[in-house]
C-alpha cells in the first residue's frame, strides 16, 4: 500500500471510532435523562392520602369526670325528654323520622357563631325569630344535646372553643334548669371526596378540646364518635352517603343508641313544663343536602354539583311540599297506658291523616287507661286534647302516659269524742302529694288539700250518719281516684272497705259487709253497698241484741217496733255471749248485773 492509502485507512478507522464513541455517549446520556422523573413519582406515592391511618390520633381521658360512661338503656322516654341542638346532622334526625319537630332546634350549614346570634327558631302563632339559647328557655327541655363543629373546621381550635364556650354559657344563663350534654363533632369517612376541605385530624383535635371545655364548665361530654369510627380513625363508610360527610339513617340510629346507653340521670330541676310553644320550620329541609363549607373556605362548583346530586334522595318530600300534601300521625308510646280518641272514634293506638288543605284542623285526645295519667305529647304539649292546623310539614307525635295510683286507709273509732286518721299512699312518678284532694260524701274537704295524712275528731254533729271517704290525685287534668272507705258514726259503728285503684275488693265489716270499686283515671265514681250479718262482731249499739234491717245506718238507730221484735227473737239465744264480748258498749256497762231478758229489753228501749 502506498503512503496515501495508509493515511486513508487510518482516517476511516478514526471516523468509525468517533462515530462509535459519539453513539455510546449519546446512549448513556439518553438513559440518564429517562431516569430523571423517577424520584418525583416516588415522592407522589409518599404523599399522605385521605385514608391515612389516624387510629392513634384521637386520645380521650376515660377518667374524666365530664365523660358519660356506659349505662343501662335509658329507653325512648330519655330521648323524648331531650332537645337536640345542632346543624345538618341534627336536622337529619328529624328528616329520617327519628325525632319530632318539637325535639330539635337546628339548621343546615350553621356553626357555633350562628347558633349563638342568629334567630333560626320559630313557633306557631309567633312572628318572631329566636336564637337557640332563647328557644331553649321557651321550650324548657329536660336536657339538651349539642352537636356543632362540622361547619367550624375553618377555625383554629382555640377560636372554636371560645365560640362554643359562649354558646354553652348563653344556654346556661337563658335556662339554668336544663342538663347540657356536648356531643362530639361527627367524624368523616375516609372517602369524603365531595368535601376535600374536611380534616379528620382537626375534628379529633376539636373533640379532645371539647372534653376539656366540659370539665371547665361543669357540663357532660358524649363521646359518640367512638360509635361511628372504624379502626382507621375515620367514620365507618356504611354510616355515610358515598363521598359525603352526612350520616345516613344507620349512622343516626347508632348515635341515638349510644346516647341512650350513656345516659345522664339526674333530678329534674325544672320548676314547670307549662306554656311550651309549638315549633314550626320555615324552610323545607333537605334530608340529603350537604352543609356549606366553613366561611373561611369557598365551596367549589364541583361540590355544589355534588350537593344537587345528593338532593335527589329527597325529591319525593320536596314534591309533597310543593303540592301542600302532608301526613299527620298520632300514636301511643310503646309502653302503652292509654288510647287516642278522635270524635266518636275511640280506643285507637294510632291514627294517621293525609292533609291536603294546610288550614285543616285535626283534634286528637289522649285518653289514659285506668291507673294512668297523660304526661305529655312528644313535641312538648301537656294538654291531653290537642288541635293541629296550619300545616307546613309532616307531623308525627306520640302520646306519653305514666302510672299513678292512690290507696287510702284509716285508723280510729267511730264514737263521739274519738278520732279517725286517714292516710293516702301514692304510687307513680306523677302522683304527687300537692295534687291530692280528699272528699267526704262527694264534697271536697278543702282543709285537707295537699295532705297525705289527716285526722278527724268525731263530734256530736257527726253522730248517727255514714260518710264515704275517698281521695283523688290529678295530673294534667287527669284524675285518679282511690278506694272508698265508708265510716258509720252513731253508737260507735264502723265499717270500712279496701281496694286498690285498679281493682275492687270487698271485706266483711264489723257490722256488715262493704264493697267498693275504684274508678278510672278520668272518673271519680264509686259503688257501695252494705248488708246485714248475723255473725257481726263490731256492732256496738247500746244493746247487743240490735240487728240490722235492709235499710242503712239511720234505720239501724231508728228501728221500728216490728224490727225490734225480730231482733229480740233472733238475738235471744246469743244475747248472753254477745253481751260478754261487748264490754266497750255503754249498754253492757250499764246492764252487767241484769239478766239476759232485761238486757234485751233495755237495748230495745234505747234503740227507740
pLDDT digits (tens, 9 = 90+) for 498-515: 433 333 333 333 333 333
DSSP states of 531-580: E--TT-S---SSSTT----SS-HHHHHT--HHHHHHHHHHHTTTHHHHHH
Residue 570 CA to residue 199 CA, distance in Å, equals 99
Q: Does residue 32 have a pLDDT over 90?
A: no
The reported pLDDT for the residue numbered 28 is 66
Q: For 547-557, what is the mean pLDDT?
A: 38
Residues 420 and 487: beta-carbon distance below 8 Å: yes
Strands 419-427 and 350-355: unpaired
User: What is the band of 247 on the pLDDT scale with cuts at 50, 70, 90?
Assistant: very high
Per the DSSP assignment, residues forming a β-bridge with 528 are 516
User: What is the band of 394 on the pLDDT scale with cuts at 50, 70, 90?
Assistant: confident
pTM of this structure: 0.44
The reported pLDDT for the residue numbered 591 is 38
Question: 229 or 497: which carries more pLDDT confidence?
Answer: 229
pLDDT digits (tens, 9 = 90+) for 177-192: 999 999 999 999 999 9
User: What is the band of 323 on the pLDDT scale with cuts at 50, 70, 90?
Assistant: low
Question: 217 or 383: which carries more pLDDT confidence?
Answer: 217
Q: CA-CA distances (angstroms) from residue 235 to 37, 192, 211, 290, 524?
A: 36, 10, 20, 16, 57
The reported pLDDT for the residue numbered 321 is 41
Q: For 364-370, what is the mean pLDDT?
A: 94
Q: For 554-576, what is the mean pLDDT?
A: 40
CA dihedral 172, 178, 181, 185 (to 10 degrees): -60
Q: Indicate the DSSP class of residue 239.
A: G
Poorest-pLDDT segment among 101-105, 439-443, 579-583? 579-583
Q: For 277-293, what is the mean pLDDT?
A: 57
Residues 476 and 385: beta-carbon distance below 8 Å: no
233: alpha, beta or left? (left if phi > 0; alpha if psi -120 to 50): left
The reported pLDDT for the residue numbered 318 is 41
Q: Does residue 532 have a pLDDT over 90?
A: no
Percent of the chain past pLDDT 70, that is, above it, reads 67
CA 260 to chain centre: 11
Q: CA-CA distances (angstroms) from residue 595 to 224, 580, 592, 600, 602?
A: 89, 12, 8, 9, 11
> Across all residues in the chain, what is the average pLDDT?
75
Which stretches within 284-343 are classed as H helix? 301-310, 315-322
Q: Does residue 152 have a pLDDT over 80?
A: yes
* Residue 493: count of CB within 10 angstroms of its CB: 26
Strands 385-388 and 528-531: unpaired
Poorest-pLDDT segment among 180-189, 456-465, 478-487? 456-465
Q: Does residue 176 have a pLDDT over 60?
A: yes
Domains of the chain: 75-291 (3.40.50.1110), 321-403 (2.60.40), 405-531 (2.60.40.10), 553-607 (no CATH)
Q: Is 166 exposed, middle or buried (0-12, 13-18, 19+ CB in 10 A)?
A: middle
User: What is the band of 590 on the pLDDT scale with cuts at 50, 70, 90?
Assistant: very low
The reported pLDDT for the residue numbered 21 is 73
Please provide residue 355's backbone torsions phi and psi, each rounded to the nearest 5 degrees.
-105, 110
What is the chain's percent helix, strand, coil content, to nearest 5?
Answer: 35, 25, 45
- The C-alpha cell of 486 is what? 265508708
The reported pLDDT for the residue numbered 282 is 64
**Cβ neighbours for 447, distance < 8 A, ≥ 6 positions apart:** none
First-to-last alpha carbon distance for the chain, in angstroms, is: 182
Poorest-pLDDT segment among 11-15, 42-46, 88-92, 408-412? 42-46
Angle at 252 between CA 250 and CA 253, to 5 degrees: 65
Residues 140 and 175: beta-carbon distance below 8 Å: yes
Percent of the chain past pLDDT 90, that is, above it, reads 46
Residue 370 CA to residue 520 CA, distance in Å, equals 4
Amino acid at each position: 500500500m502506498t503512503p496515501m492509502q495508509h493515511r486513508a485507512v487510518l482516517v476511516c478507522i478514526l471516523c468509525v471510532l468517533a462515530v462509535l464513541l459519539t453513539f455510546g455517549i449519546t446512549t448513556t446520556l439518553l438513559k440518564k435523562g429517562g431516569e430523571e422523573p423517577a424520584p418525583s413519582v416516588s415522592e407522589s406515592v409518599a404523599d399522605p392520602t385521605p385514608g391515612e391511618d389516624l387510629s392513634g390520633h384521637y386520645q380521650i381521658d376515660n377518667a374524666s369526670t365530664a365523660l358519660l360512661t356506659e349505662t343501662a338503656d335509658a329507653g325512648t322516654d330519655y330521648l323524648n325528654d331531650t332537645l337536640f341542638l345542632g346543624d345538618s346532622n341534627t336536622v337529619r334526625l328529624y328528616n329520617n323520622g327519628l325525632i319530632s319537630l318539637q325535639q330539635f332546634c337546628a339548621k343546615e350549614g350553621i356553626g357555633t357563631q350562628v347558633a349563638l346570634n342568629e334567630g333560626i327558631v320559630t313557633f306557631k302563632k309567633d312572628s318572631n325569630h329566636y336564637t337557640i339559647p332563647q328557644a331553649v328557655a321557651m321550650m324548657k327541655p329536660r336536657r339538651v344535646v349539642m352537636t356543632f363543629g362540622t361547619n367550624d373546621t375553618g377555625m383554629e381550635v382555640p377560636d372554636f372553643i371560645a365560640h362554643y364556650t359562649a354558646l354553652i354559657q348563653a344556654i346556661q344563663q337563658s335556662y339554668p334548669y336544663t342538663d347540657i350534654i356536648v356531643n362530639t363533632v361527627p367524624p368523616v369517612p375516609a372517602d369524603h371526596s365531595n368535601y376535600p376541605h374536611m380534616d379528620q385530624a382537626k375534628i379529633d383535635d376539636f373533640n379532645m378540646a371539647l372534653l376539656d371545655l366540659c370539665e371547665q364548665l361543669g357540663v357532660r361530654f358524649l363521646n359518640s364518635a367512638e360509635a361511628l369510627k372504624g379502626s382507621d380513625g375515620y367514620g365507618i363508610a356504611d354510616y355515610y352517603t358515598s363521598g359525603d360527610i352526612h350520616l345516613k339513617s344507620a349512622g343516626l340510629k347508632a348515635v341515638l343508641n349510644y346516647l341512650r346507653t350513656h345516659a345522664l340521670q339526674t333530678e329534674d330541676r325544672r320548676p314547670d313544663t307549662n306554656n311550651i310553644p309549638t315549633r314550626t320550620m320555615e324552610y323545607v329541609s333537605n334530608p340529603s343536602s350537604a352543609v356549606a363549607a366553613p366561611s373561611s373556605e369557598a365551596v367549589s362548583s364541583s361540590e355544589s354539583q355534588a350537593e344537587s346530586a345528593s338532593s335527589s334522595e329527597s325529591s319525593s318530600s320536596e314534591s309533597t311540599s310543593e303540592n301542600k300534601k302532608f301526613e299527620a300521625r298520632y300514636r301511643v308510646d310503646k309502653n302503652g297506658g292509654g288510647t287516642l280518641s278522635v270524635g266518636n272514634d275511640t280506643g285507637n293506638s294510632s291514627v294517621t291523616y293525609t292533609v291536603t288543605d294546610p288550614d285543616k284542623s285535626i283534634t286528637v285526645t289522649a285518653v289514659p287507661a285506668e291507673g294512668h295519667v297523660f304526661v305529655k305529647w312528644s313535641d312538648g304539649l301537656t294538654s291531653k286534647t290537642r288541635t293541629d292546623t296550619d300545616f307546613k310539614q309532616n307531623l308525627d307525635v306520640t302520646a306519653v302516659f305514666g302510672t299513678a295510683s292512690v290507696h287510702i286507709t284509716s285508723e280510729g273509732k267511730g264514737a263521739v269524742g274519738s278520732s279517725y286518721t286517714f292516710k293516702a299512699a301514692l304510687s307513680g312518678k306523677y302522683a304527687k302529694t300537692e295534687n291530692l284532694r280528699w272528699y267526704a260524701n262527694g264534697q271536697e274537704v278543702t282543709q285537707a288539700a295537699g295532705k297525705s295524712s289527716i285526722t278527724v275528731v268525731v263530734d256530736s254533729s257527726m253522730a248517727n250518719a255514714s260518710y264515704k271517704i275517698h281521695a283523688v290525685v290529678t295530673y294534667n287534668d287527669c284524675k285518679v281516684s282511690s278506694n272508698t272507705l265508708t265510716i258509720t258514726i252513731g253508737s260507735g259503728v264502723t265499717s270500712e272497705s279496701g281496694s286498690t285503684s285498679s281493682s275492687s275488693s270487698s271485706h266483711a265489716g264489723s257490722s256488715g259487709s262493704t264493697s267498693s270499686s275504684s274508678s278510672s283515671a278520668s272518673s271519680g265514681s264509686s259503688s257501695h253497698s252494705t248488708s246485714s250479718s248475723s255473725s257481726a262482731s263490731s256492732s256496738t249499739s247500746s244493746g247487743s241484741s240490735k240487728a240490722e234491717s235492709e235499710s242503712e245506718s239511720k234505720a239501724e238507730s231508728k228501728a221500728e217496733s216490728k224490727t225490734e221484735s225480730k231482733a229480740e227473737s233472733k238475738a235471744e239465744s246469743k244475747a248472753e255471749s254477745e253481751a260478754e264480748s261487748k264490754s266497750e258498749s255503754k249498754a253492757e256497762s250499764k246492764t252487767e248485773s241484769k239478766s239476759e231478758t232485761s238486757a234485751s229489753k233495755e237495748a230495745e228501749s234505747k234503740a227507740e
